[in-house]
Structure 1
Amino acid sequence: MPLNATAPERGFNDAEFSARTAKAQAAMEVLGLAGMLLMTEQDVRYFTGFHTLFWQSPTRPWFVFVPASGKPVAVIPEIGAELMRRGWIDDIRTWSAPTPQDDGISLLLDLLGPLAKESAKIGVMKGHETKLQMPLGDWERLMAGLPGLEITDVTGLVQGLRMVKSPAEIGKLGHICAIGSAAFGKVPEVIHEGMPLEEVFRQFRLTAIGYGADDAPYVVGAADQGGYADVISPPSRRPLQRGDVLMLDAGCTWDGYFCDFDRNWAIGHASDDARRAYDVLWRATQAGIEAAKPGNTCLDLFIAMSTVIAEMDSSGGDIGRLGHGLGMQLTEQPSHAAFDETELKENMVLTIEPSLSYGDGLMMVHEENIVVGGDGASLLTSRAATDLPVVT
């Protein structure tokens, strides 16, 4: 079931990575940094193109150092050397891993030792939505071996770069959103009353992959009478019943980039409350899309959506945010939330995801994916129906 649209080229050319590195180095110069040490999958891939499912193994650490000038340096297990050599960087230093007593630490000491002697400052990711992708004991050993080296936080720098997508990235995101939209469009044809929820999930995954998705690693949802009570559950064997509201939330991937959006359907019959909740959320989504302009903030989007949601749910709920960034990860910075005043910029790719509570412990969520343009937002997903679809 391939899509008619031609898929973008996989991977990126060297100019893409050179441009990313140059932007990072310009920002590092302002901060007086001699480099950045990165170690998580998406950050390593962003600067090198190193793309593999081998990250699912927690056994080996991986490091990339982005210097103040020149190409990044990879310090990686030997098992990844051949794949890394296919990319654009030249300096690849390896060790036989796993070696718990010295998993790349000696190589990092050799690389960073000269900077420590100069009392230089380097950046690592310390902030929200980051993690130390190496044993804490190894980090302590590394720091003990680099007296004089100053460590500063570059979370804002790296996340700021990754928030604004290149045309090539937007092409990949648009492609996987089109695949996801096509897969959602087939759902009413394959589901029916009496179908176990886990089979609904399975059929959606098969459909998405049949349309060209590389994977559908995130498929969650729920179905219950008049609505549902949570939005992150794995499927059960419960059969779909007349009067259910079914929600599927899907994160499918293509060439390492995600879509992330959901759809709602009523089975056989939709209650008045469910119809009203859907209508409010559709209009809240539209308000968020219309507010997504350069110069506005994530807080502005949050307020725009919350104002409409308050027509039915004045509590504001406790989901915490009404959308987020999208890219190599299912969820990225920023957040459309009361605490986030990140300014929107052209070529940010975002989810618009209002939710509300109604009835006796029920909720509903609506989500679309957009790209911010110079004059406003454009949909990457095919917009959901204006009224709650009823599957008969």
Structure 2
Amino acid sequence: MTEALKAPARGFERAEFEQRTAKLQQRMAQQDLDVLFLTTEPEFRYFSGFKSQFWESPTRPWFLVVPAQGLPVAVVPEIGVAGFEQTWIEDVRSWPSPRPEDDGISLLAEALTEFSRDHRRVGAMLGPETHLRMPAANFAQLEQMLGSRELVDISTLIRDLRSVKSAAEIEKIRFACEVTAAGFDYLLEHLRAGMTERQACKAMHLEMLRLGADACPYLISASGQGGYDNIIMGPTDRTLGDGDLLIIDTGANFDGYFSDFDRNYGFGRVDDEAKRAYEAVYQSTEAGLQAATPGRTTGDVWQAMWSVLEQAGALGNDVGRMGHGLGMQLTEWPSHVPGGDVLLQPGMVLTLEPGMSFAPGRMMVHEENILVTEDGCEMLHKRAWETLPIIG
């Protein structure tokens, strides 16, 4: 039995939050932003250090206000005030939530008004791949309270900052990846024909927890005779048998940071077409590894991977992208898409996820997690098997 892996330290030093906030405030100054506010868990945690499972409850809103100068201010329900003693946040303003008639909106408006007297510009996450974690009526109320102040979309600003990880963040992601890789190896040794998808996933889930993952909130699978055509719904109670192909895609979490990759397994007499498709996505990943260097673009990475799949006879790619950012969320900006113009930078953590339809109703997908370095990229975990592993 593999021993639990050595985990990195939990949390971050105060200096980490000071540096994140300083970088944010430099960008705010460039855009004449007096203040901004954050409402979603990853962004709130990124700048405050406040980590709580209470975000799972939709009842109460939480707000973090970041002025152009000085420390962030938390505007939070009274039930959460004590938790900020463990953070670097000193100014915590609260109200007795839930209070539907005014669930923190007046308090938030007061804080934003206090800090927005120069340019009268207030930032909020209003762009793609994000949302405001507050009722639409409350946001309309906030707009009214802010009067003539301009609300500015800061989603590009925030995602740019978060896309480059610190050394401490990288170590947490690396550990989550190593735990996941060990879980896949464990499953290779214990997977048998006659098991169901659900039994296979549960066995791997328990092993990842034993090895040190805090949670495995994302664990899906699909299977079928010689392939699969749906990779986002399982696991199911379908029994695995001769000729089947099984994919498991999972994201383990450690201290708030994710892994996200998959592995494929074959059972018995898998046809040659599926084996060739496996080899094609493996070689496509190799091309992605060569292309993922600083100064190249997400479009370059996509094209490098797609060229291999196209040459191998791919009928198409129905996923819409072939990889994405990774960190505090299972999927983060940017995406590897055709024509993507995001420049890769050292410190970015990305997935490479080539996928192909290799026959009608049959797919093959492969995914790995990488770190962009000064002169290329490196894997954050053990590489997948070069040929499709066959069970039984």
TM-score range, shorter chain: over 0.9
Q: Distance in 2 between matches of 1:105 and 1:40?
A: 15
1:98 equivalent to 2:98? Answer yes
1:238 equivalent to 2:238? Answer yes
- Give the TM-score of the pair, scaled to structure 1: 0.97
Whether the aligned pair in 1 keeps the contact of 2:300 and 2:339 (CA below 8 Å) is no
Alignment of 1:337-352 (within 5 A): 337-352=337-352
SS at match of 1:113: helix
CA-CA distance at 1:218 after TM superposition: 0.5
1:166 equivalent to 2:166? Answer yes
Whether the aligned pair in 2 keeps the contact of 1:116 and 1:148 (CA below 8 Å) is no
Whether the aligned pair in 1 keeps the contact of 2:350 and 2:370 (CA below 8 Å) is yes
Counterpart residue number, 1:274: 274
Counterpart residue number, 2:13: 13
Mark the CA change 1:315 to 1:2 in structure 2 (over 3 Å): closer, same or farther.
closer
CA-CA distance at 1:339 after TM superposition: 4.6
Q: Distance in 1 between matches of 2:27 and 2:237?
A: 52
Q: Distance in 1 between matches of 2:218 and 2:86?
A: 29
1:71 equivalent to 2:71? Answer yes
Counterpart residue number, 2:388: 388
Q: How far does the alpha carbon of each residue in 1:247-289 deviate from its partner, in whole angstroms, 9 at most, with x for none?
A: 1000110000000000001012321011100000000001111
Deviates more, 1:51-60 or 1:322-331: 51-60
Unaligned runs of 5+ in 1: none
Counterpart residue number, 1:180: 180
Counterpart residue number, 2:48: 48
Counterpart residue number, 1:359: 359
Deviates more, 1:309-318 or 1:238-247: 309-318
Whether the aligned pair in 2 keeps the contact of 1:117 and 1:148 (CA below 8 Å) is no
| Identical counterparts, % of pairs | 45
Counterpart residue number, 1:298: 298
CA-CA distance at 1:191 after TM superposition: 1.4
**AA of the residue aligned to 1:370:** I
CA-CA distance at 1:43 after TM superposition: 0.3
Deviates more, 1:136-145 or 1:109-118: 109-118
SS at match of 1:269: coil
Deviates more, 1:234-243 or 1:152-161: 234-243
Counterpart residue number, 1:121: 121
CA-CA distance at 1:34 after TM superposition: 0.6
Q: How far does the alpha carbon of each residue in 1:346-381 deviate from its partner, in whole angstroms, 9 at most, with x for none?
A: 010000000001223100100000000001010002
Unaligned runs of 5+ in 2: none
Mark the CA change 1:228 to 1:27 in structure 2 (over 3 Å): closer, same or farther.
same
Q: Distance in 1 between matches of 2:317 and 2:230?
A: 12
Q: How far does the alpha carbon of each residue in 1:78-130 deviate from its partner, in whole angstroms, 9 at most, with x for none?
A: 11111122100100101111100111012112212234555511211111101
Q: Distance in 2 between matches of 1:117 and 1:196?
A: 62
Query: Number of paired residues?
Result: 392
CA-CA distance at 1:313 after TM superposition: 3.6
Whether the aligned pair in 2 keeps the contact of 1:322 and 1:354 (CA below 8 Å) is yes
Q: CA RMSD in A?
A: 1.3
**AA of the residue aligned to 1:239:** T
**AA of the residue aligned to 2:124:** V
Alignment of 1:80-91 (within 5 A): 80-91=80-91
Whether the aligned pair in 2 keeps the contact of 1:109 and 1:146 (CA below 8 Å) is yes
- Give the TM-score of the pair, scaled to structure 2: 0.97
